[in-house]
């Protein structure tokens, strides 16, 4: 039997296996055409096609057939995240390694065919997943570059990457950044770079829609792998909502003992002093209407996608807005809940000092799967017990990938999503209409503390 035909049949069968395991990814699985190439010892892509060596494909399939679909999915992830185009101007070996580790984090987090990847159980891969969790290849690359400048030593990101990188290699990157026409590799329809980007955007948008519909129908459960894949891609343009403005919705008008310099006519005041000496006609109002946060709840997704600097930014913006609302020195009701697949920690805070202490030594607990329902169930418990009678709402810091209650809540629910993890969740369909989405770090000027 012709070896090229056999290799092509193996690749098509493996792609069909992926299609059956992840039906919502069908559109992106068929963007790339299969192209025979003697230029590679294995398989690679330039974003236009999958270039394969027939001899290598047949040999690998005979020894480890599961490697074929794993490699195809690895190539697809590279293309979805734009790795093949973003290497220009970067240190190739370092960036390639970051891309392989980032792609492996996503594919190994998928259930089914890719979830059985034996590499994810290696200690080096586990260490990298823990260290770089939720970060894109570009973020990992910049982190290492910064560490080199600062001289962080042997325990930093580069050491973790160096240990994990060789185990994460799945494909040949020699085609990245090359023009297939100039290189003599014909591509179907003479597609240029711009038309290719449009094709990937259409396919990914369609896959996201299918994924959202499957979630709504209960056919699948939200998973971290798909969450990272969609959030790190650029599917649509967004007009982010300011988290600072969203937080102000949780303020309720109240009177406090404070002189109000804005609700009197100074002309009458001066006239009184002129006529009667020390007897003003109008006195300052001793009470002032201000916005005071009374009761609200913050939930933090501790499954791992939102951590580090993004979490610090979220807490800083929350603290700054609280201060702006003039609750400094006053008691208020704020409950912070940490949750991954279950509630891991809970803390009630009543003063600014307590809030500052919490920010200073916060310890995240979790790291498991993701489920939002335990938080909503806990809030219902608190309300039924009478602990919260004037709850303004819930602010949930997360990437937005998880299961929601079927019915809307009686209080406002806002999901604050880091700007670099954003995907158009409302279009994709897994965040309900009754949830408000706000972005952290996008369209927001962080107030000075």
* pLDDT of 262: 57
Q: Residues with Cβ < 8 Å from 384, sequence gap 6 or more?
A: none
Average pLDDT, the chain: 78
> Which tokens belong to 187?
């591509």
| Per-residue pLDDT at 308 | 65
Q: Looking at the predicted structure, is the pLDDT value of residue 448 above 90?
A: no
Q: So what's the pLDDT on residue 341?
A: 86
Which residue is it, tokens 């000496």? 277
pLDDT one-digit tens code per residue, 358-370: 877 778 787 767 7
The full DSSP string for 252-291 is EEEEEEEEETTSS-HHHHHHHHHHHSS--SSPPEEEEEEE
pLDDT tens per residue across span 14-72: 999 999 999 989 989 999 999 999 999 999 999 989 999 999 999 999 999 999 999 99
pLDDT, position 69: 96
Report how far residue 124's alpha carbon sits from residue 130's, in angstroms, rounded to the nearest whole number. 10
Question: Is 276's pLDDT higher than 70?
Answer: no
399 contacts 377 by C-beta, under 8 angstroms: no
Q: Which residues pair with 393 in a beta bridge?
A: 412
pLDDT given at position 288: 57
What confidence score (pLDDT) does residue 307 get?
64
Contact 340, 367 (CB under 8 A): yes
> What count of other Cβ atoms lies within 10 Å of the Cβ of residue 97?
25
pLDDT digits (tens, 9 = 90+) for 329-348: 556 788 999 998 889 999 99
Q: In Å, how far are 25, 103, 327, 392 from 252, measured between CA atoms?
A: 45, 46, 12, 8
Give the confidence band of 11 by pLDDT, cuts at 50, 70, 90: very high
- Tell me which residue has tokens 């979805």: 80
CA angle, residues 204, 137, 446, in degrees to nearest 5: 90
Q: What pLDDT was estimated at residue 243?
A: 74
Residue that wins the pLDDT comparison between 283 and 390: 390
HSE at residue 293, side-chain half, CA atoms within 13 A, is 32
Which pLDDT value is given to residue 383? 92
More confident residue, 258 or 410: 410
The average pLDDT across 350-356 equals: 80
- Confidence (pLDDT) at 392: 79
For the residues 72-85, what does the mean pLDDT come to? 93
Q: How far is the C-alpha of 444 from the C-alpha of 76, rounded, in Å?
A: 33
**Cα angle, residue 422 at apex, residues 391 and 311 outer, rounded to 5°:** 60
Least confident of 256-260, 349-353, 368-372, 375-379: 256-260
- Examine the pLDDT at 325 and tell me if it is beyond 60: no
What is the per-residue pLDDT across 87-134, written as a single tens digit (0 to 9) for each? 888 999 999 999 999 999 889 888 788 888 889 889 988 888 878 876
pLDDT at residue 56, as a whole number: 96
Q: Give the least confident one: 172-186, 220-234, 235-249, 381-395.
A: 235-249
CA distance 301 to 340: 6
Task: Answer with the residue of higher pLDDT: 200 or 380.
Answer: 380
CA angle 301–303–309, rounded 5-degree value: 65
Residue 229 vs residue 164, higher pLDDT: 164
User: Above 80 in pLDDT, residue 408?
Assistant: yes
Check pLDDT > 60 for residue 446.
no
For residue 447, name the pLDDT band (cuts at 50, 70, 90).
Answer: very low
Is pLDDT above 90 for 78? Answer: yes
pLDDT band at 206 (very low <50, low <70, confident <90, very high): confident
pLDDT of residue 198 exceeding 50? yes
Rounded to whole angstroms, how far apart are CA atoms 343 and 301?
A: 10
Per-residue model confidence as pLDDT tens digits over 143-166:
898 888 777 655 688 899 999 999
H or E element in which residue 36 lies: strand 33-36
Q: What is the pLDDT of residues 387-403, one digit of tens each?
A: 888 787 899 988 777 78
**CA-closest candidate to residue 446, choices 295, 293, 315:** 315
What does the alpha-carbon distance between residue 180 and residue 200 come to, in Å, rounded to a whole number? 17
User: How large a percentage of the chain has pLDDT more than 90?
Assistant: 30
Q: How far is residue 402's CA from residue 315's CA, in Å, rounded to a whole number?
A: 22
pLDDT of residue 443: 39
Q: Give all strands (DSSP E) within 10-81, no chain letters.
A: 33-36, 43-45, 49-52
């Amino acid at each position: 039997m012709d070896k090229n035909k056999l290799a092509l049949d193996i690749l098509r069968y493996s792609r069909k296996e992926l299609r059956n395991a992840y039906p919502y990814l069908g559109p992106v699985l068929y963007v790339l055409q299969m192209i025979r190439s003697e230029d590679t010892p294995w398989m690679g892509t330039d974003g236009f096609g999958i270039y394969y060596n027939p001899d290598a494909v047949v040999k690998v399939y005979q020894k480890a057939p599961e490697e074929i679909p794993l490699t195809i999915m690895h190539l697809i992830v590279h293309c979805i995240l734009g790795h093949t185009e973003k290497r220009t101007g970067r240190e190739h070996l370092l960036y390639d390694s970051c891309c392989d580790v980032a792609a492996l984090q996503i594919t190994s987090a998928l259930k089914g065919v890719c979830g059985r990847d034996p590499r994810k159980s290696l200690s080096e891969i586990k260490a990298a997943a823990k260290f770089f969790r939720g970060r894109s290849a570009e973020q990992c690359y910049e982190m290492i570059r910064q560490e080199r400048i600062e001289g962080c030593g042997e325990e930093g990101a580069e050491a973790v990457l160096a240990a994990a990188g060789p185990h994460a290699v799945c494909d040949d990157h020699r085609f990245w950044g090359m023009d297939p026409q100039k290189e003599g590799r014909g591509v179907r329809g003479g597609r240029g770079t711009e038309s290719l980007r449009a094709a990937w955007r259409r396919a990914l948008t369609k896959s996201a829609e299918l994924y959202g519909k499957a979630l709504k129908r209960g056919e699948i459960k939200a998973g971290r792998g798909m969450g990272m894949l969609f959030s790190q891609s650029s599917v649509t343009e967004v007009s982010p909502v300011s988290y600072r403005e969203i937080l102000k919705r949780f303020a309720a008008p109240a009177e406090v003992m404070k002189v109000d310099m804005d609700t009197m006519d100074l002309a009458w005041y001066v006239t009184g002093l002129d006529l009667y000496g020390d007897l003003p006609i109008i006195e300052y109002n001793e009470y002032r209407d201000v916005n005071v946060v009374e009761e609200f709840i913050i939930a933090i997704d501790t499954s791992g996608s939102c951590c580090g600097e993004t979490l610090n930014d979220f807490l800083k913006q929350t603290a700054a807005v609280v201060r702006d609302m003039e609750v400094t020195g006053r008691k208020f009701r704020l409950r912070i809940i940490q949750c991954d697949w279950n509630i891991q920690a809970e803390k009630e805070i009543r003063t600014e000092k307590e809030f500052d202490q919490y920010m200073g030594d916060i310890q995240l607990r979790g790291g498991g799967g993701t489920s939002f329902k335990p938080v909503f169930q806990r809030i219902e418990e608190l309300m039924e017990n009478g602990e919260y009678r004037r709850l303004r709402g819930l602010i949930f810091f997360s990437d937005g990938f998880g299961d929601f209650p079927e019915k809307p809540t009686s209080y406002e629910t806002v999901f604050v999503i880091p700007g670099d993890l954003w995907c158009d969740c409302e279009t994709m369909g897994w965040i309900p209409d009754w949830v408000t989405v706000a972005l952290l770090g996008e369209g927001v000027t962080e107030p000075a503390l």
